[in-house]
Amino acid sequence: MDTSVPSPFVNGETLKMFVGRRVRTVVQVQRNESGVLVVQSTDGHQLTIRGAPGAPEAPHYIEVMGIPDSDQSIRAESWTDFGENFDPVPFNGLCKLASDKYKYLFL
């Protein structure tokens, strides 16, 4: 995994700010359509994830690191199973704070 640049935390809303840049996000798996994961971001946007073979089934949360190729899809480089007990609400709050007001602590 070659992450030589910082990868910001994003949610559905802030994803569009980082198209083409490596990001990390936590999403909830909804279904797997022949290799393409359909997931829900922590702020309720539906996204597609390509390139995450072996990802767990719904309703697990996964952290995806990759490069968004549009404001609704990410090409994954790696993923981590965050289990079922992940709380999306504080993560969503973190994404908002980290991309805006407290960006200087993160990027």
Partner 1 sequence: MYGGGGQYDGGGGQYDGNGGAASANNLFGGGGFMPSQTTNTPEGGGGGGGFNKGRGSQTLMPLTVKQLMDASQTNDDKSSFAVNGWEVSTVRLVGRMLNKNERVTDVTFVLDDGTGRIEVNRWENETSDTEEMKLVNDGDYVIVNGGLKGFQGKRHVVAYSVRLVTNYNDITHHFLYCIYVHLDLAKAKRLASQPQANASTSTWNQAPLLNNQSASGNTAGKELTDLVMSVFHDPVLGNMEHGVSVDEVASRLKLSDAVARSTVQHLADIGNLYPTIDDNHFKSALNG
Q: Under the rule (CB under 8 A), what is the footprint of partner 1?
A: 1, 3, 6-9, 24, 26, 61, 63, 78, 80, 82-83, 85-87, 90-91, 93-94, 97-98, 102, 104-107
Nearer to partner 1, 68 or 91 (CB): 91
CB of 72 to partner 1, least distance (A): 22
Nearer to partner 1, 13 or 63 (CB): 63
Q: Under DSSP, is residue 3 helix (H, G, I), strand (E, B) or coil? A: coil
Residue 87 zone, left/alpha/beta (φ > 0; ψ -120 to 50; rest) = beta
Q: Strand 46-50 relative to strand 73-83: parallel, antiparallel, unpaired?
A: parallel
HSE (side-chain half, CA atoms, 13 Å) at 10: 26
Nearer to partner 1, 1 or 34 (CB): 1
